[in-house]
Chains A and B, each alone.
Chain A
């Protein structure tokens, strides 16, 4: 009888930690706080303040019942580091928190993240509508890998809402675009494209690599899935390759069009991921099936390095965009540079979209055309001493590349033009050095280009 009367149904006896967690849950923390704290609490076993690197392949089970519960996804538990790892999980939750998603799954590269995000919701015979202004590696992946899977593709001009609208077919299962296109600098009208996608019950996937969640959070504008190459600004240190998929958790995968997500899964003993896990259904499937079966898991050490990067994301991005604007303005005023594609410039045709989606700055990657064509671009790069000539973006160090002689080397001048790359196009990723030094180096580089052009002109005069 005493038992019955006790009935401590709703307790007000919360411990200090429990009270704090309640208070904290009612408070909206700022971005700068979340980039340092989200996803991690001090390690309960050791008190370690930094995120421990759990360099382990596997985890000891308490007993056979627990092991079964973890494999059945009935309980949150660690089984094997191809599928989950506590260090990687901190990175995943932190990115999900900064992007405002329900959760995230990390991958060994940005390319792997894209493949996994798509594989989770596609099946052979499906169709994808994609912006044509994408990172070249993504274009390759879609053109060749997706086609191999018998997925059809339609490339659209991302700036034209009607192009997106008219490309939709009954078997369209995803829209794909980049917040800021690589290297053209086009800014995606996320809200408009998301509305077109949702009108047809299709999810919008946005590659937010160039903006980072500090400059733009596509989920707030209607995107359903956000992808990053963490290799770039999220890390910021150029030490690690990695990627991550964030899902908003709001798309209705049970709308009758996504049998692969909603129907009983043959790859998971008949589990209906969306019905069973609701908000978390797509993410569960992405991890428990796609990551399990593709195997492109992020290593705990690289996750740790990305977390070190994320701690300073806002500070770096503020500096990146300030420097990018300064360098872009310098180039715009320079006689030997034209077509500066930085969307943050006042004269950019993307100005209204930049003000709407990227009010804190338009990233730090853009291109321009160096006078003198292919030779001019090469001469400029040859004469720089501070900018690093390499094939990456988003490092804290400033980077430069000449697409016509590297990433787009196989293309003729005509094909280059079609890809939006001129023979003299140079792509910059503006770092966080002293802006004056970056401009100084470019300025002396242009002087060499001018001198070389003068030499060539002299030679021409001499030979004719």
Chain B
């Protein structure tokens, strides 16, 4: 069993969310009804530069789509993965090769080897967490719909 707690540290999650500008989404679907599209749409709304990575599409969410991470023309802060877990080692190798800041694996995208490859290559790993949910928990408005953000704070901060 992979020790997932290592890859779900709240401080690291917030550092990644606050620090990132460019997020490549590997496996982003062109279908408006898929989870990856919801996430991509949400991240764009929150001013991240979203770059779709999907060999079957040319444009998603109005952004040029690239067949692989190695084809990206700009550096990326976060590689966000919506692929099956066994694709992770290859994606992790690519993430290391392009010097990505973090490898963010969505719910269920769990692969110990992929995580190790990324970590050994100096890439921060977050695993089995949704980037949209974590953004909404710490920065966004998840608390508006009755979800348990687990947050307890008496600090006045942020916008509604």
Contacts and interface: CB of A to CB of B under 8 A. Distances in A.
Q: Do most interface residues of chain B lie in helix, strand or loop, or is the interface mixed?
A: loop
A284 B35 CA distance: 13
Interface residues of A, number: 68
Interface in A1-50: 4, 7-18, 20-26, 29, 33-34, 37-39, 41-45, 47
A44 B157 contact: yes
B144 to A, nearest CB: 5
A331 B153 CA distance: 46
Given A8-B19, A69-B41, A26 B155 contact: no
Q: Which of B74, B75, B136 has the most CB of A within 10 A?
A: B75
Interface string B69-103: 00000110110000000000000000000011110
A97 interface: yes
Contacts of B9: 26
For B15, B41, B101, B102, the residue with the greatest tally of chain A CB atoms inside 10 Å of its CB is B15
Contact of B146 (A16, A41, A104): A104
A280 B33 contact: no
A44 B156 contact: yes
Given A84-B145, A89-B144, A41 B155 contact: yes
Given A44-B157, A74-B41, A276-B38, A22 B144 contact: no
Contacts of A13: 18-19
B15 A76 contact: no
Contact of B148 (A17, A43, A78, A93): A93
Interface of B: 9-12, 14-16, 18-21, 33-35, 38, 41-42, 45, 74-75, 77-78, 99-102, 107, 124, 130, 133, 136, 138, 140-160
Given A7-B77, A10-B12, 8 more contacts: A10-B101, A17-B157, A22-B14, A43-B160, A74-B45, A97-B150, A103-B148, A279-B107
29 contacts: A7-B99, A9-B19, A9-B100, A9-B101, A11-B19, A14-B15, A21-B138, A22-B11, A22-B14, A24-B152, A25-B10, A25-B150, A26-B10, A37-B153, A38-B152, A44-B158, A76-B136, A77-B141, A84-B145, A90-B143, A97-B150, A104-B148, A106-B146, A269-B33, A272-B33, A276-B33, A276-B35, A278-B35, A279-B107
